[in-house]
A = this chain, B = another copy of it.
Amino acid sequence: MFFGEYSYKVDEKGRVPLPPKFRRELKEGVILAKGMGEKCIAIYSIAEWKRLSDSLAAKAVTPANLRKLNRAIFGSAFSASFDGQGRITLPYSLREHAGIADTAIVVGANNRIELWSEDQWKPEKTSAEEQASQIIESFGV
């Protein structure tokens, strides 16, 4: 389970550290993927990635459908592992998709870690918090 919000520098080589608490759950490496629907990078543990892609594949009804799905899912996914300093290297295509230049906001989101550019994260954060407090108000959690 991942939580918390952190800010890290991305160096010229596209390397970014993850919080130590996250690393401890990800010793065997990670899968990087485009954030589906959002302009961010999604990071999964290997196990979680398998679970996700399996459950997605099970939903494909026709073979053509499945091939297309596989292309979308696996085509934008990369595996990565940590260097001695606890950093992973972000492929250029993903950095570009998320608009990440020299600073990355690392957000724990339960079963997933997300990387955002500062500019994209600010509005997303406020709108997410608005939605959450609306739900709290109306359902009285």
Contacts and interface: CB of A to CB of B under 8 A. Distances in A.
A28 interface: no
A27 interface: no
A89 interface: no
B74 A109 contact: yes
B71 A107 contact: yes
A97 to B, nearest CB: 11
Contact of A36 (B3, B72, B132): B132
A122 B125 CA distance: 29
Given A67-B37, A133-B36, A133-B37, A128 B72 contact: yes
A103 interface: no
Interface of A: 1-5, 21, 31, 34, 36-38, 52-53, 55-57, 59, 64-65, 67-79, 91, 93, 107-110, 112, 114, 124-125, 127-129, 131-133, 135-137, 139, 141
